[in-house]
Amino acid sequence: MRKLCFLLLEFITATPMLPNFDIWNDNNNRVAHPEMNISRLPKVLNFFPVPVEEECLSNDQRRKGICMNAYECKIEGGTSHGPCALGFGVCCVFTATCNEEIHNNITYFVNPHFPDLSKDMESCSLTVKKIDPEISQFRLDFIHFNLGQPNRKTGVCEDDIFVLNGGRRQLKLCGLNSGQHAYFDVENMDSVATIEMKLSKKAVTRLWEVRVTQIPFTQRAPVGCLQYHTGTTGTLKTMNFAENGRHLADQDYNICIRQEQDMCSIVYEPCHENAFRISPNNDDNVTEDVGSGETPEPRADECSDKVVLPCDSEDLLMPQDVGPGFCTLVHCGESLCPAGETPCRIESSITPFMIGVHFGPNAREAPADDNLGMCLNYEQMPCNV
Ligand SMILES: *[C@@H]1O[C@H](CO)[C@@H](O)[C@H](O)[C@H]1NC(C)=O
Ligand SMILES: *[C@@H]1O[C@H](CO)[C@@H](O)[C@H](O)[C@H]1NC(C)=O
Ligand SMILES: *[C@@H]1O[C@H](CO)[C@@H](O)[C@H](O)[C@H]1NC(C)=O
């Protein structure tokens, strides 16, 4: 009863504000009307003391769930993990495994034996249904993602392949990607996406736990961003950046970083001294003239696999100018910094903050050590320095 009164009160206090509610200004609702808790308004109207379907934490704090009443949780196929909404609801956690379907927000897709490893599997598929036609993106959080490695020489996923289909583009992965995430555009998709996993017969043990969140239009990541990092500091890695890993072939995406309040530029630094290894395309007809006697660094136009970092003096840029102080858009080889200087640190105030990752479809054969990929720490810098 307490909850009911509480909800009614909310309804009464919120109603007078409705005329101010600018429905066309999707992005700014939260900012412009912080006092209005839009997400709970529609639920109030049925006058039942049901908890609002909001995110909650499971009682072991390990997973996110949706706060709903115990009965509803059971009907939807979830499991209760402790109370929420002052005890009026349960934190309902959804999981799905091979050959099942996701039809709830915040659902964990796990290997069949999770939390143990799965062995001897050949395939696994999953259907992901939009819970609402207005869903704009799926966000996949790879909490655990441990599949077979790509071809060591080419980076092509051959033995184990994880493919997400149904959106505008396909997402294809293999190897080790725990801690990574990806946004998948489903705006023009009818209603279902599918995950297909092909798993080789080679005796590989696998483990995965992928949280799938359904993102409405108002909360989507910017167009063209496979990854969207928030926070003033963080770490960016190419897929399968791992010990004994190598970067994947056939990758073409942007890593975006949200510009935080009062921040004007961003600094990138390799995570450690081996954290940038993207082999240049050393075809025979390039790099004839090496003026300085220094070890020739790859010229920007030599990179077949590359990372693109917007830099401040872009207008003045000449592709062959390489050296400290010069700004280079395209990066490959053994160092993020054009002349290999250490410590290597690149600052950019070009917004939006973004790094392009472009690895060719048929990567040239090259030792894995030369193709570890990239791990960068970033830090946003305040405007008034
Ligand atoms: C909305 O309401 C929930 C509780 O129902 C609360 O936890 C949350 O902070 C509120 N959000 C805003 C923006 O007021
Ligand atoms: C799904 O859950 C996320 C995380 O709590 C939330 O931001 C999003 O709005 C939810 N999606 C829908 C359609 O309710
Ligand atoms: C030589 O370089 C040019 C321009 O960089 C390129 O178009 C061409 O394919 C290269 N030729 C060979 C044989 O690699």
pLDDT per residue of the chain (385 residues) written in tens, 0 to 9 = 444 434 433 443 343 333 333 333 333 333 334 444 445 444 444 444 555 689 999 999 999 999 999 999 999 999 999 999 888 899 999 999 999 999 999 999 999 999 999 988 899 999 999 999 999 999 999 999 999 999 998 999 999 999 999 888 899 999 999 999 999 999 887 778 999 999 998 767 899 999 999 999 999 999 999 999 999 999 999 999 998 899 999 999 999 999 999 999 999 999 998 899 998 755 433 444 444 444 455 555 678 899 998 877 544 444 444 444 456 788 998 888 877 777 898 889 999 999 999 998 865 677 778 899 999 999 999 998 6
The confidence score (pLDDT) of residue 244 equals: 87
Mutate which of 281, 283, 304 for ligand 3? The one with the most ligand atoms within 8 Å of its CB, which is 283
Decide whether any atom of ligand 1 lies within 6 Å of the 40 Cβ: yes
* Token code pair at residue 271: 């995570």
Q: Give the pairing type, strands 353-359 and 251-257.
A: antiparallel
Q: How far apart are CA 264 and CA 355, in angstroms?
A: 16
C-alpha to C-alpha distances, 236 to 37, 40, 321, 344, nearest whole angstrom: 33, 35, 27, 16
**Core vs surface per residue 197-234: b (16+ CB within 10 A) or e:** bbbeeeebebbbbbbbbbbeeeebbeeebbbbbeebee
Closest ligand 2 atom number to CA of residue 131: 13
Residues 6+ apart with CB under 8 A from 128: 101, 102, 138, 166, 192, 193, 194, 195, 212
In order, the DSSP letters of 3-23 are HHHHHHHHHHHHGGGGGG--T
DSSP 362: T
Residue 342 structure tokens? 């250490």
- Cβ of 285 less than 6 Å from ligand 3: yes
Q: Could you tell me where the beta strands, DSSP code E, fall in 278-348?
A: 306-308, 330-331, 346-348
71 within 8 A of 58, measured Cβ to Cβ: no
Cis before 115 (ω within 30): yes
Q: Does residue 84 have its Cβ closer than 6 Å to ligand 1?
A: no
pLDDT score, position 304: 84
CB-based burial of residue 377 (10 Å sphere; 0-12 exposed, 13-18 middle, 19+ buried)?
middle
What atom of ligand 3 comes closest to residue 301's alpha carbon? 5
User: Which amino acid residue places its CA nearest to atom 5 of ligand 1?
Assistant: 52
In the chain, DSSP finds a helix count (H) and a strand count (E) of 4, 23
What residue owns the CA closest to ligand 2's atom 6?
215
Ligand 2 pocket, 132 CB below 6 A?
Answer: yes
Q: What's the first-to-final CA gap in the chain, in angstroms?
A: 54
Task: Say what the pLDDT of residue 301 is.
Answer: 60
> Would the CB of 219 count as within 6 Å of ligand 2?
yes
Set out the domains of the chain in order of their start, with CATH numbers.
Answer: 49-92 (no CATH), 94-218 (2.60.120.290), 251-284+297-382 (no CATH)
Q: Is the CB of 106 under 6 A from ligand 2?
A: yes
**Amino acid identity for residue 190 in this structure:** D
Give the per-residue pLDDT at 324: 44
Please classify residue 103 by burial: count the beta carbons closer than 10 Å to its beta carbon, then call 0-12 exposed, 13-18 middle and 19+ buried.
middle
Which positions ≥6 away from 173 have C-beta within 8 Å? 145, 147, 157, 161, 162, 239, 240, 248
Nearest CA to ligand 1 atom 9: 37
Q: How many A from CA of 37 to the centre of ligand 1? A: 6
CA 55–ligand 2 middle distance (angstroms)? 8
- The reported pLDDT for the residue numbered 106 is 96
**Distance in angstroms (rounded) separating the CA atoms of residues 150 and 248:** 7
Contact (CB, 8 A) for 99 and 124? yes
Could you tell me if the CB of 33 is within 6 A of ligand 1? no
**Total-model pTM:** 0.77
